[in-house]
Amino acid sequence: MTKKTGGWAESIKTVVYAGLIAIGVRTVAFEPFNIPSGSMIPTLLVGDYLFVSKYAYGYSRHSMPFSPALFDGRLFGSLPARGDVAVFKYPRDNSTDYIKRIIGLPGDRIQMRGGRLFLNGQEVPRESLGLYTVEGDGQPMRRYRETLPGSTTPGPVRHEILEATDDGPYDNTPEFVVPPNHVFAMGDNRDNSLDSREMNAVGFVPVENLVGRAEFLFFSKDNSSAWWAVWDWPFSIRWNRLFTAVK
């Protein structure tokens, strides 16, 4: 005769096991993020949802939910490649998630002059792609294709940026020298991004604060319909962005 099992105890165990599996996947493999601001336009749009690979740069305490202070540094750590789009914890509070493009690695010299990016004394090439209008804004901006020199990836890294002007607050800066175990991060929407150019805010990002590398979009929705108006979703989903790689 077998004993019948079930009831609340089994249900609780199932929920606990499912939660542990989810936490494990979120910690060591992939974690979903959504984009709430326009600092990475045109690469990432407000309403994009993407997966970040947690293993790309190794693991730190920030790889785990709530960033428990279990250890310092990184396990199986590696530096990002120049040009990676990465999620990191804001250095001022170690809790807020930021997503930016990695522009400088340890030892690099970074400077903005008249809206142009200089890396290790060399001007980074940019090619005009015409005008770009941000959703819901209506104000056209200038779009460029910028070409970063490669680091750990073969060849140059090409990506798009926006500039409202070449004479904004962060378009002329002193030269920044990236210290050891830090990186320099910037938004692709250059005049609408709080990033490493502001030393009193983001500044240099400790490698330990890296959460992971943005890999691909799995969902994207504009703000033309309310989140609860499910019947309007087919008209507000950006179908052409679904399951596209982040570059």
Higher-confidence residue of 16 and 78: namely: 78
Arithmetic mean of pLDDT over the chain: 87
Residue 82's closest CA among 178, 152, 159, 142?
152
- How far is Cα 28 from Cα 217, in angstroms, rounded to an integer? 19
Q: 67 catalytic, yes or no?
A: no
Look up tokens 């140059």; give the residue. 156
Q: Looking at residues 143-170, what average pLDDT do you find?
A: 88
Is the separation of the CB atoms in 196 and 222 below 8 Å?
no
Asked if residue 20 has pLDDT above 50, the reply is no
User: Domain 30-241 has what CATH class?
Assistant: mainly beta
For residue 137, give the DSSP letter: T
Q: Please tell me whether residue 129 adopts helix, strand or coil conformation.
A: strand
Give residue-wise pLDDT tens across range 97-117.
Answer: 999 999 999 999 999 999 999
Which of 54, 60, 89, 100 is catalytic? The answer is: 100
CB 64 within 8 A of CB 29: no
* Long-range pairs of 19-24 with CB within 8 A, sequence gap ≥ 24: 23/65
- For residue 207 the two structure tokens come to 């490698």
Q: What percent of the chain has pLDDT over 70?
A: 86
**Model-level pTM?**
0.85
Q: Please say if the pLDDT value at position 187 is more than 80.
A: yes
Q: Which of helix, strand or coil describes residue 220?
A: strand
Catalytic residue among 39, 60, 193, 220: 39
Q: With cut-offs at 50, 70 and 90, classify the pLDDT of residue 17.
A: very low
CA distance 86 to 188: 12
> What is the C-alpha separation between 194 and 215, in angstroms, rounded?
22
Identity (one letter) of the amino acid at 50?
Answer: L
**Which tokens belong to 182?**
């830090």
- 39 in active site: yes
Region label for 75, one of left (φ > 0), alpha (ψ between -120 and 50) or beta (otherwise): beta
Mean pLDDT of 12-17: 53
Q: Which of 7-11, 18-22, 174-178, 180-184 has the lowest mean pLDDT?
A: 18-22
Q: What are phi and psi for residue 153, nearest 5 degrees?
A: -100, 145
